[in-house]
Amino acid sequence: MKWSQFNCLFHSPQVGYYLHNTRMLSLIKLDEDGYNKLLKIRENAENAKILLSEADYTYFVNAKVLVSEQEDSNYINKLEYKKRRESFVSNSLGLILCPTLACNFACPYCYEKNLPNNVMQEDVQTQLINFVNKHVDKCKSITLDWHGGEPLLAFKTIKQVYSRLENEAQLPVSYSSMVSNGYLLNEEICTYLAEKKLNYLQITIDGNRLTHNKTRVLKNGESSFERIIENIDMATELIPNCKIGIRTNIGRSNRDEYINLYNELSERWKGKNCTIYSTFVVDNNFYSTCDEQSSFELSTNEKNDFIVSLAKNDIIKKKSIYPKLDCSSYTCTDGNAFVVDPQGYLYKCWADVGMKERSVGNLVDGVTNYDIISQFIIGSDKFTDSKCRQCSYLPICNGGCNLYRVRYLERKVPYNVCPINDEGLLKYIETYLDK
C-alpha cells in the first residue's frame, strides 16, 4: 500500500490536527501522536503496518488514505472518462448567439477588442434555422444564450431570431438567458423578454458608483451606474419570473468594497428574483501576452483570502467552501454547444468569437476545424495537464480555464490557473470548522 496523492495532512493552531482526503471528501480529526505517525507514513508507507494498530490500518485503507499502487491513477482515469463521456451525451443543442459584436461600453478588461460592428442579417438567420434543424435526430431541445458585444444593440435582430425559431425551427427552446450590461434595458425590452419567458439575465455591477464607472465605461464617457441600477429595478418588476444575476468582476481595485456592495444590493432587491455573486477578473484574450494576463488577475492566495472573507462575513455559507468534487463542463467542452457570431461562424470559446481564424466551422458547413474543437474538448483540461494529474486537489478543482492551456500550446504563454493551494485549503477548513 502507498500514501494516496489525494491526502492533505495539516496542523492548524486554530483547529488542531487533521487529514483531508480530496477523493473521499473526508475530514479526519487526529491527535498529535496520530498526526506524527501519519507524517512518517507519508514519508515511507512501509511504516504504516509498524506504527498503526490493525484496526487503524484497516480504517485508513477503507478511507483511501492508504491505497494500492494503481488505485489513484485508476481513479483519475475514471474521472476523466466521466468527463469525456458527458462531453458527447448531451441531447440539447447549446447556442450562444451574438446578434452583434458591437458594444456601447469600453471596459478595460474586456477580451473583445476591435471586432466588427455588423448585425446578424436575415440570410445568416436562415442558415441558423437550417443548422438547428440538422440536429433534430440527436437533440431534443435548444438552450439559447444571447451574448455579444452588447446584444440589446441588436434588439430588432433578437426579435427576428426568436420569431423564426418559434415558426421554423424543429427544436423547441427549453431554456434561454442573456448576458447584457443592462444599460439599454427599457419597458419595451423587458416586456418582450417576459413574453419570451427569458429564464436568466446577467448584468454586471463592478463596485460602488465611482469604481463601477471606471471599469464599466461607456464609450461616450458618461456614467452608467445609476441607469443600470434603475434598469434592474424596472426589470425585477416587469420580468418577475426571470432570475437576474448581478455579477461583480473582482480584481484588486474593488475586492475591498464588495462586501458593502453586496449588502447594499441585497437590501435594495430583497424579496426580488435576484442573485448577487462575484467572480474573478481574468484575461480571456487568446492573443494576450504573459504580462497582459497577469495584470488582471489576483493570485491564488488572494482569491482564497477573498472567498474566506465572504464566508466570515456571511456573504456565502461557511459550509459552501468545504471542498466538493468538480468535473464541471463548459461550452468549450460540450460537443453540442457553439458560439455563433453575426456572420454565422462557429466557435467553442466565448473569448474567440469574432476571430475567424479561431472558428471551428460555420452554420452552413458545420464543424470543419477539428484541430481547435478537439483541443478544447479533450486536449486542454486538467486531465491533460501533467501538473494537475499529480496534484492532491485534482478531484476538487475545476482545472481552470481551458483557454489558458490552449494559449500555452499555441503560443507558449505561461499560465497559472490554480484556484486553491495548501494555504487556501487550510483557511477553508478552518473557516468551515468555525461554523
Separation CA 46–CA 49 (nearest Å): 7
CB 18 within 8 A of CB 51: no
**Mean of pLDDT over the chain:** 94
pLDDT score recorded for residue 300: 92
**Position with higher pLDDT, 282 vs 180:** 180
Residue 412: which region, alpha, beta or left (left: phi > 0; alpha: psi -120 to 50)? Answer: left
Sign of the torsion formed by the C-alpha atoms of 367, 368, 369 and 370: positive
Q: What band does 382 get if pLDDT is binned at 50, 70 and 90? A: very high
pLDDT score recorded for residue 413: 85
SS3 356: helix
- How is the chain split into domains, by residue range? 1-69, 83-378
Count Cα atoms within 13 angstroms, Cβ side, for 360: 23
Separation CA 249–CA 258 (nearest Å): 10
Separation CA 47–CA 185 (nearest Å): 66
Separation CA 85–CA 37 (nearest Å): 41
pLDDT score recorded for residue 294: 41
Amino acid present at 301: N
CATH number of 83-378: 3.20.20.70
SS3 314: coil
144: nearest Cα among 166, 126, 127, 124: 166
Examine the pLDDT at 68 and tell me if it is beyond 60.
yes
Query: Which residues are registered as beta bridge partners of 9?
Result: 19
283: nearest Cα among 259, 251, 306, 253: 251
At 257-285, the pLDDT tens digits run 999 999 999 999 999 999 999 999 877 77
At 291-332, the pLDDT tens digits run 544 445 789 999 999 999 999 999 999 999 999 999 888 899
DSSP letter (8 states) at residue 145: E
At 108-154, the pLDDT tens digits run 888 777 788 899 999 999 999 999 999 999 999 999 999 999 999 99
Least reliable range by pLDDT among 235-249, 293-307, 399-413? 293-307
Examine the pLDDT at 83 and tell me if it is beyond 80.
yes
Amino acid present at 228: I
pLDDT score recorded for residue 292: 47
Q: What band does 239 get if pLDDT is binned at 50, 70 and 90? A: very high
